[in-house]
């Protein structure tokens, strides 16, 4: 029986699904707090990959033999499963498999952006974008002459919505915004931004890399025109990302990559393209990874995203409270009760990289650096920060281990 | 445990907390800066050459960053005092790591070698062998 949405997670049970969490380093058990970078992979997903390679590995859409039929059906149905997972009622036709969020972003930037944008257009994005979106729009801006504008963040790390309303005008062609900041942990009001964008005839691209793994997402409730995320951050394998696009938009766009699989009829002079979503999946696609991503959706749904979200909220609040109790620690982003399960911070006396190396001695894995948000770090006035990020299998005891490691670093550098 | 703990032996912490030759020189023969863009470590090295245009008479560094990058710079400036530019160019990354006297985890090597690279590039710019604005280590 599926647990109710408010039942706490059975952590012991969940941890048993993730063999990697049993790893020890010199007798100390791994404390994995780098989930915003990539999540660990549960047995059912690993089994799905193994089963695919063991029993029905074949190229899709091509062969008429049994294996190819099995692989094709599983691969196509994986698109439907992912569509269902994010509330895309159009099913597979609105779901393109890519290799990651970054490629999904580039697909839209090239297939839509290069074709549609010109010097009279503006792209509005935010100060807290990941490089995957910031660099992409910046470069598309250079190629097309479109101007890129950045919605400011306020002192607490929230988007300044007055500034958003100021920047988004009838000249705006695209609003591109992270659903959840991978550095600040801020949850952005994306459906409000979608309304503002649509009021001005602009499209909205939502980067869901940090939301889809951790909370229920409904792309139609948001009214996103495009939505992207990565499999490897949501219990799936690496090498698979998703681009959701409204059907009529995807239909109107030209392909981004050309080649086999995406074509219908080819002559020396002309080519007609396949239907959605295949016209955007040139060459042999990410078959095993796509099928495994559907298994990751099953895994997360089975546990329940509301429950996962609640669990991470509790961990985030606990970590926030423990970290902010120290005067020599600066925590970036909104208050503990209004953020997702990640906390970026700096310890006054210890550089983030040194801290991370010392935590590594405690078998505590965190991220240290710019988290692919260099301009945001400039805005925050620091080159680097340390980031602990949580997922369904993390515990309070692991946050205690983090704090102990920090205490150790402080002492070493005193 | 792990690779890291060894990295923070007394020598490194000492040089990080009490850097030697820290600061800027009044009239350097050459001065050069470098950074690890992804870490935010920065190092400036100032050198005064003797009249032979070859011997390092005075050297100082300034900068900001992790303990490994700053301690390496401090240790390096000690070592370079009185050396020739030819000897400076003969140093490679292993020499710096030997000087640190600890094992450096692979991801941190770029921090350790930053100062050495800045000193070498600074000298090469001075002698007209290369033309760059800043040094970056990956
Ligand atoms: C908010 C956000 N957007 C985009 C990405 C890029 O994801 P990927 O590296 O899988 O393309 C990440 C993660 O690294 C992220 O956190």
Q: Which atom of ligand 1 is nearest to the CA of A233?
A: 10
CB atoms within 10 A of CB A329: 18
Tokens representing A5? 């949405």
Q: Report the gap between the CA of B106 and the closest CA in chain A (Å).
A: 11
Nearest CA residue ID for atom 14, ligand 1: A37
Q: Report the gap between the CA of B29 and the closest CA in chain A (Å).
A: 30
pLDDT > 90 in chain A, percent: 95
Domains detected in chain A: 11-42+304-412 (3.90.1150.10), 47-302 (3.40.640.10)
Nearest CA residue ID for atom 10, ligand 1: A100
The pLDDT of residue B4: 45
Q: Which atom of ligand 1 is nearest to the CA of A241?
A: 10
The pLDDT of residue A298: 98
Q: How far is the CA of A139 from the centre of ligand 1 (A)?
A: 18
Q: How far is the CA of B106 from the centre of ligand 1 (A)?
A: 24
pLDDT > 70 in chain A, percent: 99
Distance of CA B79 to the CA centre of its chain: 10
Tokens representing A261? 């699989």
Cis peptide before A277 (omega within 30 of 0): yes
The helix or strand, by DSSP H or E, that contains position B96, with its residue range, turns out to be: helix B93-100
SS in 3 state form for chain A?
A: CCCCCCCCCCHHHHHHCCHHHHCEECCEECEECECCCCCCCCHHHHHHHHHHHHHHCCCCCCCCCHHHHHHHHHHHHHHHHHHHHCCCCCHHHHEEEECCHHHHHHHHHHHHHHHHCCCCCEEEEECCCCHHHHHHHHHHHHHHCCEEEEECECCCCCECHHHHHHHCCCCEEEEEEECECCCCCCECCHHHHHHHHHHCCCEEEEECCCCCCCCCCCHHHHCCCEEEEEHHHCCCCCCCEEEEECHHHHHHCCCCCCCCCCEEEECCCCEEECCCCHHHCCCCCCHHHHHHHHHHHHHHHHHCHHHHHHHHHHHHHHHHHHHHCCCCEEEECCCHHHCCCEEEEEECCECHHHHHHHHHHCCEECEEECCCCHHHHHHHCCCCEEEEECCCCCCHHHHHHHHHHHHHHHHHCC
Q: Does B50 touch chain A (CB under 8 A)?
A: no
Instruction: Indicate yes or no: CB of B67 within 8 angstroms of CB of A351.
Output: yes
Asked if residue A181 lies in contact with residue A128, where contact means CB atoms within 8 angstroms, the answer is: yes
Q: Which residue numbers of A have CB closer than 8 Å to B's CBs? A: 25-26, 28, 350-354, 357-358, 360-363, 369-370, 374, 377, 382-384, 412-413
Residue A295 predicted with pLDDT over 70 = yes
Per-residue pLDDT tens digits for A28-51: 999 999 999 999 999 999 999 999
pLDDT bracket for residue B104 (50, 70, 90): confident
Q: Does B8 touch chain A (CB under 8 A)?
A: yes
Q: Which atom of ligand 1 is nearest to the CA of A103?
A: 11
Instruction: Indicate yes or no: CB of B8 within 8 angstroms of CB of A28.
Output: no
What predicted TM-score, i.e. pTM, was given to this entire model? 0.94
Per-residue pLDDT tens digits for A61-90: 877 899 999 999 999 999 999 999 999 999
Per-residue pLDDT tens digits for A112-129: 999 999 999 999 999 999
Residue A407 predicted with pLDDT over 60 = yes
Per-residue pLDDT tens digits for A133-165: 999 999 999 999 999 999 999 999 999 999 999
The residue in chain B having the minimum alpha-carbon distance to the alpha carbon of residue A350 is: B66
Residue A302 predicted with pLDDT over 80 = yes
Contact residues on chain B for A352, CB-CB shorter than 8 A: 66
Q: Does B7 touch chain A (CB under 8 A)?
A: yes
The pLDDT of residue A3: 63
Instruction: Indicate yes or no: CB of A360 within 8 angstroms of CB of B4.
Output: yes
Mean pLDDT of all residues belonging to chain B: 91
Per-residue pLDDT tens digits for B9-42: 888 999 999 999 999 999 999 999 999 877 788 9
Tokens representing A394? 């993390």
CATH match for B3-136 among 3.40.50.1000, 3.40.50.720, 3.40.50.2300, 3.90.1010.10: 3.90.1010.10
pLDDT bracket for residue A313 (50, 70, 90): very high
Instruction: Indicate yes or no: CB of B5 within 8 angstroms of CB of A28.
Output: no
Contact residues on chain A for B5, CB-CB shorter than 8 A: 358, 361
Per-residue pLDDT tens digits for A162-211: 999 999 999 999 999 999 999 999 999 999 999 999 999 999 999 999 99
Over residues B111-116, mean pLDDT: 94
Query: Which among A31, A34, A346, A353 is the top mutation candidate for probing chain B, defined by the most B β-carbons within 10 Å of its own β-carbon?
Result: A353
Over residues A388-393, mean pLDDT: 98
Per-residue pLDDT tens digits for A232-255: 999 999 999 999 999 999 999 999
The pLDDT of residue A414: 87
pLDDT bracket for residue A2 (50, 70, 90): low
The helix or strand, by DSSP H or E, that contains position B57, with its residue range, turns out to be: strand B56-64
B70: phi then psi, degrees, rounded to nearest 5: -75, -40
Q: Does B3 touch chain A (CB under 8 A)?
A: yes
Per-residue pLDDT tens digits for B44-90: 999 999 999 999 999 999 999 999 999 999 999 999 999 999 999 99
Task: Choose among A110, A156, A109: nearest CA to A133.
Answer: A109
pLDDT bracket for residue B3 (50, 70, 90): very low
The pocket around ligand 1, CB under 6 angstroms, is made up of A 36, 100-102, 130, 132, 178, 182, 207, 209-210, 230, 372
Q: How far is the CA of A209 from the centre of ligand 1 (A)?
A: 5
The pLDDT of residue B6: 65
The pLDDT of residue B1: 42
Q: CB-CB: which of B2, B16, B38 is closest to A361? A: B2
Contact residues on chain A for B111, CB-CB shorter than 8 A: 353
How far is it, in rounded angstroms, from Cα B70 to Cα B136? 15
Q: Does B37 touch chain A (CB under 8 A)?
A: yes
The residue ranking higher by pLDDT, A5 or A307, is A307
The pLDDT of residue B2: 44
The pLDDT of residue B8: 81
Q: Which atom of ligand 1 is nearest to the CA of A230?
A: 10
């Amino acid at each position: 029986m599926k647990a109710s949405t408010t039942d706490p997670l059975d952590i012991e049970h969940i941890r048993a699904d993730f063999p990697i969490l049993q790893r020890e380093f010199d007798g100390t058990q791994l404390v994995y707090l780098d989930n915003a970078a990539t999540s660990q992979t549960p047995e059912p997903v690993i089994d799905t990959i193994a089963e695919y390679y063991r029993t029905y590995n074949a190229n899709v859409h091509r062969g008429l033999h049994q294996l190819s039929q099995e692989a094709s059906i599983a691969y196509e149905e994986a698109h439907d499963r992912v569509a269902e997972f994010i509330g895309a009622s159009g099913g597979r036709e609105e779901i393109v498999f890519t290799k990651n969020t970054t490629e999904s972003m580039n697909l839209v930037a090239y297939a839509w952006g290069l074709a549609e944008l010109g010097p009279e257009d503006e792209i509005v994005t935010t100060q807290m974008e990941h490089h995957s979106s910031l660099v992409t729009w910046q470069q598309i801006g250079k190629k097309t002459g479109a101007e890129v504008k950045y919605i400011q963040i306020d002192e607490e790390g929230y988007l300044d919505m007055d500034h958003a309303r100021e920047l988004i005008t009838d000249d705006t062609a695209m609003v591109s915004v992270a659903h959840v900041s991978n550095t600040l942990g801020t949850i952005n009001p994306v459906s409000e931004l979608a309304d503002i964008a649509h009021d001005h005839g602009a499209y909205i691209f939502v980067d869901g890399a940090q939301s889809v793994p951790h909370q229920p997402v409904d792309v139609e409730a948001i009214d996103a025109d495009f939505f992207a995320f990565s499999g490897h951050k949501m219990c799936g394998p690496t090498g698979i990302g998703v681009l959701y696009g409204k059907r009529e938009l995807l239909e109107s766009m030209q392909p981004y990559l050309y080649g086999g699989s995406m074509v219908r009829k080819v002559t020396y002079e002309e080519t007609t393209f396949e239907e959605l979503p295949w016209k955007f999946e040139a060459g042999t696609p990410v078959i095993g990874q796509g099928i495994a991503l559907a298994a990751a959706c099953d895994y997360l749904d089975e546990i329940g995203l509301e429950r996962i979200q609640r669990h991470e909220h509790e961990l985030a609040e606990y970590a926030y409270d423990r970290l902010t109790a120290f005067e020599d620690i600066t925590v970036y982003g909104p208050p503990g009760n209004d953020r997702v399960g990640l906390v970026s911070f700096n310890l006054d006396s210890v550089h983030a990289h040194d801290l991370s190396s010392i935590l590594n001695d405690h078998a505590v894995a965190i991220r240290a650096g710019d988290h692919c948000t260099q301009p945001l770090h400039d805005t925050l006035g620091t080159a680097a920060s340390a980031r602990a990020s949580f997922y369904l299998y993390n515990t309070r005891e692991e946050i205690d281990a983090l704090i102990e490691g920090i205490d150790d670093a402080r002492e070493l550098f005193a | 445990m792990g690779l890291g703990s060894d990295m923070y032996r007394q020598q490194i912490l000492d040089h990080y907390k009490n850097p030697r030759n820290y600061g800027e020189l009044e009239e350097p023969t050459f001065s050069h800066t470098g950074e690890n863009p992804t870490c935010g470590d920065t190092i400036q090295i100032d050198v005064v050459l003797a009249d032979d245009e070859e011997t390092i008479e005075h050297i100082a560094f300034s900068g900001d960053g992790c303990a490994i990058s700053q301690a390496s710079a401090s240790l390096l400036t000690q070592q370079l005092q009185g050396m020739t530019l030819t000897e400076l160019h003969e140093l490679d990354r292993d020499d710096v790591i030997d000087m640190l006297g600890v094992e450096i985890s692979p991801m941190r090597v770029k921090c350790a070698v930053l100062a050495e690279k800045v000193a070498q590039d600074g000298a090469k710019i001075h002698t007209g062998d290369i033309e760059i604005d800043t040094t970056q280590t990956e």
